[in-house]
Amino acid sequence: MSETILEVQDLNVKYGAIQALKGLSFSVRQGEIVSLIGANGAGKTTTLRAVSGLLPFSGTVQFLRESLSGRPAHEIVAKGISHSPEGRGVFPNLTVLENLELGAYTRSDAEQIAHDLEHCFQLFPRLKERIKQKAGTLSGGEQQMVAMSRALMSRPKLLMLDEPSLGLAPLIVAQIFEIVKKINAEGTTVLLVEQNARMALKISHRAYVIETGKVTLSGTGQDLLDDPRVIESYLGA
């Protein structure tokens, strides 16, 4: 079995009086796609933001056996975790190219950066055609491609994707999930947060169900697709 690269134990996060995460634990192994699924407000985004260094937490978060507690976000990126946030977070007034270049701000290896840019354009040929276009004028699906590419430009060991399918047409959603699979097959470990539980579970090696700030179920993607509790609450008819 491959090495655990992210180990989250007993994670607690509060927003003022609201306790959003209540002792949440999960792990991600090298090479996996792991999904966190759950309803609106379950705590999925909060979990990614805590791991990224964007929110204070108690409990332990270890990446490659090193504690991330109290580390600032830029150090966490430099250690190899990148985060494509909910809502995509592209810089609307910058071009596609400028957005992608910002994703590489922790790096100085110009040749490799150029190589990785080309790789993003292979994954998303549509972005190459729009390289000089302002990101704010792209469609939702294209903005999602920019967000994922920008996250890839730091050459992450762990890519965290928050709701990549949100608000996109079914055809684009299917393409985005195919590309997540491809990125993983090329060697990047993926932690995926999704409300589209069916699509997420189909591509995940393992997954966790989060309810009101805690993990309530976990298993392989297939186990959870077959679990009557998941079917009833998250997969519909």
Q: Where along the sequence are the contacts to ligand ATP (CB under 6 A)?
A: 15, 18, 20, 38, 40-46, 86, 195
Q: Based on CB atoms, which residue is closest to ligand ATP, 80 or 164? A: 164
Q: Based on CB atoms, which residue is closest to ligand ATP, 8 or 117? A: 8
Closest separation between CB of residue 148 and ligand ATP, Å?
Answer: 18
Closest separation between CB of residue 35 and ligand ATP, Å?
Answer: 12
> Which DSSP letter does residue 235 get?
I
Taking phi first (over 0 means left), then psi (-120 to 50 degrees means alpha), and beta for anything else, what does residue 207 get? Answer: beta
Report which secondary-structure segment, H or E, holds 134: none
If one counts every other C-beta atom within 10 angstroms of the C-beta of residue 132, the result is 9
Closest separation between CB of residue 176 and ligand ATP, Å?
Answer: 16
Q: Based on CB atoms, which residue is closest to ligand ATP, 96 or 217? A: 217
Closest separation between CB of residue 11 and ligand ATP, Å?
Answer: 12
**Alpha-helical runs (H) found in the chain:** 44-51, 73-79, 96-103, 110-123, 125-129, 140-152, 170-185, 197-203, 221-226, 228-230
Q: Based on CB atoms, which residue is closest to ligand ATP, 54 or 97? A: 54
